[in-house]
Structure 1
Amino acid sequence: MGRRTVRWRAAALVGAAVCVTTALPGPAAATDAPTPFSYAEDAQTVDGATSSTGAARLAAGKTYRSSIGPGGKLYYRLDLDAVSNAYVSATAVPAAGSTVGSADGVRVSLQDADAHRCSRETARFGPTRSAHPVAAWASREIGSDEYMCQGAGVYYVVVERVGSGAGGGTGAASGSVSGSASEGSSQQWGVELGFVSEPAVKKGGSTHAPESWNSASPEAMSGAPERRRGGSGFATASPVAQGVWQDESGIRAGETLFYKVPVGWGQQLHATAELGSTTGGDAGYVGNAFVVSLYNPVRGFVDDKTANYGGEQRSAVLDPLPPVAYENRFSLDDEVSGMRFAGWYYLAVHLGTSVADRFGDQSLGLTLRLRVEGEAEAGPGYLGIAEPRGVLEVTEDDQEVAESGATGDTLDGAGDSRGGGGGADASGGGEGSSGSGDQRLAMTVVAAGGIGTGSLLVLGLVLWTLVARRRAYAGGEPEQLRVGTAPRGRHGAPRGR
């Protein structure tokens, strides 16, 4: 189904590209700006409510696009049963080039109808002080509390902008640069919301986290790297498998590249990101210039590492993580607890904007060394199906995609958080949304557009119309939407409670 959709999208882009060649006097020029964040192609736009009253409902398995202003505190509604675990993620997307402070970020919490907090997490930009997508997650887990957040009923997702700055002169709650007002403090941020439902499991399993596992760092992967271009969001993350991967275009200051690797039950992931040296001379030193973050299949934060940069090659190595196991959720260690699902694990690599001040706006080489140890094992015995379908498992098709070279920007994401593409325009704030893979494909077609554009124009328009009708039929009528988290530091900054 995914491959058929890729062909449909490619055909549609051919039509669009032909229209462009007939409308423009010359070929489109490539932009020097970092590729904007790519929202999920099927993300529905929804505005958060300023009160729980009238909060728009989020459906399990769906992805949503919203926005939040300075000092914002927004509510969204969930209708949960009494047997499934619920996980909600909020990815904050400030505009490229915005000025932010290390303590600025986003907090997401999940509450029941009596305002009892099920869980909460805060994601901050950290010492890079560079605007880039950061994600926080919250959950309602059955059996985690004897009294609260266990029953069926209405629950509320609360998303807040946090920070210790002046907020453009309006107070600390506005979340601007620490200690001073900033351009970023007065801007809207885009927000991508995800809601994953995990079914119950067969009774009789362990209720304790594994007491021991191999925590030794293995030898880093070596050999000639394969070239792969990183995606520009979770939905367009480029799939990679065990091996050495080199980004086709490198990474530029202010840019965040996303990759995803399938990790099955019982398997252990080891990841290293390497930043290449510059071609110029000694231009100084940038602290906390390079950060690599790991997120689990529900976009829950697991771990990150930062590295300084002085023009010579540097590496950021994630701490050894436990093998994926359902029982990891019972650990008090966030890194262990985060490795609770099989599925796609996401690596987000960001190069701070301050690097450009010292070393210019050139692309720097980026290499990933990934090792996935152990044979995949059977899952915990789910009694139902996760939403979105397939999000908490690794299939043979997933492994094939990770090894084959298909980029995340050309995978279909309709109804499946494991694929993705660019989204529609935001309803206020944040970066643009068009998928970089679609843009690259369209421009490739445009570049080769000297082949009879007059005769291809009609074909392109027909294909475009067919794609639109097909999507409308497959998506159906969307639900009517109302317009209207500290124990461990992230990037070295304390996490709020």
Structure 2
Amino acid sequence: MGTGRWPTAWWRTAVRFAVTTALIGAVTGLPGVAAADGTATGSPGGYAFAPGARSVKGTARTTDAEQLEPGRTYRSSLARKATLYYRIDLTAPDTAYVPVTAVPPSDATVAATDGITVSVQDTHGTSCSYASARFGGGLSPHPVTALGMREAGRTQCQGAGPYYVVVERLDATASGSKSGSGSGSGGASSTEAWGLEIAPVTEPPRAKADGTAAPEDWDSASPEPLTGTRKERTGGAGFAGARSLGQGVWGTRVRPGQTLFYKVPVDWGQQLYATAELGNTTAGHGYVTGALGLALYNPVRGDVADAADGYTGRQTAAALDPLPPVEYANRYAVSGQVNAMRFAGYYYLAVHLGGQVAATFGDGPYELTLRVRVEGTPHAGPGYAGQSEPAKLFEVTAGDREAAITGEAPGSGTAMKALAAGGIGAGTLLLTGLGLWTLTARRRAAAQTRASAQNPTA
């Protein structure tokens, strides 16, 4: 085979392979990530890390800490008893948020007190914030998220420069608990490493300060539950693949050990209400503590509220307590739930069905219904003096509202358009190169044919 003269059949095969690979990747998703339409893929309990997340290694010393850039998503690992450090460089006026999601293996043994702590520290060792997240009484391994912060304008941790994100693993074994499954805290924890997803973001200051008083009056009454026809909307397997939801009654199926992620656009001045309902089953009998869990996270993945209920085989529900309208000034409130409703954007709903349900009532799947209500008239935001990282994180667009109705990505229009963006885009470079090489090969072959016709003795 001569240099630069590849057989036409080979090129056709290569192009077909590239197109098929790209389309399969778009439809099914790569291992461990969500498919192009945002639905959960893989085995129950599997978490879909953000596609393209950069690998970063946490270190035991601040001097070796690897840098995190706001607006990017990272993937790391947390061993048992470990305390890890990462570095983030901040400007003076920006507020930084560093959410860390811990993902234990789906077959791990966890205790109620297992989880992580996340803090942000300055170069003097002063703690700017401290937060923890634990698995709770359901004793079922699932993604848990804790948020570290450096808030500009506060009395400590001010100024530009390097800051350190500190992630520590909490588990019953490390705390000296005895072995065995037991009850209460759940006994000893298994020792596998947990995956970490880290997604630092920054929020710019306001162009004009308007005081620091939190809103005092808001409607805290629970509205009437939404009724109407249930519309099917499968959930995502992680924050990055969360499916959009608007106001309405939504349904899907969930298996024990699985966590489904949804996102709801909530604008400035709007209130969000959400309830998750688990349908009844005719198989098995007994009681599973904390079987159904519903958690709400704000646009920076900060914990807002959660609810849980046990399961006896009869229908049950977990409903979030009423939350205040989204307002910038909520950040000055003492209440953690009010404080977390501090900006517009996508609010995430994570629904988890405890793994213990399988042993008592079977593998399912089980019918899940979400009732979502968004009330209030949107108003203008606070007027930021700059852009967030990533951009436009704290706003709701017309495309976001459309996606909440259709379930597709903002601006996608149709499923095929999303397929093209997610799948074919992944193979764009390969296809472009193959196309150019194919065109060159065809022109070269045509030229050789013409030359042979003009000079048959050559």
TM-score range, shorter chain: 0.7 to 0.9
The answer to whether the 8 Å contact 2:75/2:198 transfers is yes
Please say if 1:258 is aligned against 2:261.
Answer: yes
Taking the TM superposition and a 5 Å limit, the aligned residue runs for 1:5-24 are 13-14=22-23
Alpha-carbon separation, structure 2, partners of 1:392 and 1:467: 36
Please say if 1:320 is aligned against 2:322.
Answer: yes
Structure 1 moving runs of 4+ over 6 Å: 459-462
Note the C-alpha offset of 1:265: 0.4
Distance 1:150-1:218 versus aligned 2 partners, 3 A rule: same
SS in 1 for 2:199: strand
Note the C-alpha offset of 1:355: 0.7
Taking the TM superposition and a 5 Å limit, the aligned residue runs for 1:479-490 are none
The corresponding residue for 2:374 is 372
Q: Deviations over 1:205-260 (max 9, x none)?
A: 1301101100000011110011110000000001111111101xx11110000000
The corresponding residue for 2:37 is none
Please say if 1:44 is aligned against 2:54.
Answer: yes
Note the C-alpha offset of 1:202: 2.3
The corresponding residue for 1:421 is none
Distance 1:461-1:375 versus aligned 2 partners, 3 A rule: closer
The answer to whether the 8 Å contact 1:16/1:464 transfers is no
Q: Deviations over 1:277-306 (max 9, x none)?
A: 1133x5111121111000000000000000
Taking the TM superposition and a 5 Å limit, the aligned residue runs for 1:51-450 are 51-145=61-155, 148-163=156-171, 165-167=172-174, 171=176, 178=185, 180-182=187-189, 184=190, 186-247=191-252, 250-280=253-283, 283-406=285-408
Distance 1:155-1:465 versus aligned 2 partners, 3 A rule: same
Alpha-carbon separation, structure 2, partners of 1:10 and 1:388: 31
Amino acid at match of 1:310: T
Q: Which runs of 5+ in 2 are unaligned?
A: 1-17, 28-40, 413-417, 435-458
Alpha-carbon separation, structure 2, partners of 1:13 and 1:328: 45
How does the TM-score come out when normalised to structure 1?
0.74
SS in 2 for 1:390: coil
Amino acid at match of 1:181: A
Note the C-alpha offset of 1:144: 2.2
Note the C-alpha offset of 1:97: 1.7
How does the TM-score come out when normalised to structure 2?
0.81
Alpha-carbon separation, structure 1, partners of 2:320 and 2:305: 7
Distance 1:463-1:351 versus aligned 2 partners, 3 A rule: same
SS in 2 for 1:335: helix
Q: Which runs of 5+ in 1 are unaligned?
A: 1-8, 19-30, 412-436, 443-458, 470-497
Amino acid at match of 2:47: F
State the percentage of identical aligned residues. Answer: 49
The answer to whether the 8 Å contact 1:40/1:236 transfers is yes
The answer to whether the 8 Å contact 2:19/2:431 transfers is no
Aligned pairs, number: 394
Q: Which has the larger radius of gyration?
A: 2
Alpha-carbon separation, structure 1, partners of 2:296 and 2:384: 25
SS in 2 for 1:53: helix
Distance 1:256-1:461 versus aligned 2 partners, 3 A rule: closer
Alpha-carbon separation, structure 2, partners of 1:315 and 1:396: 32
Alpha-carbon separation, structure 2, partners of 1:222 and 1:387: 38
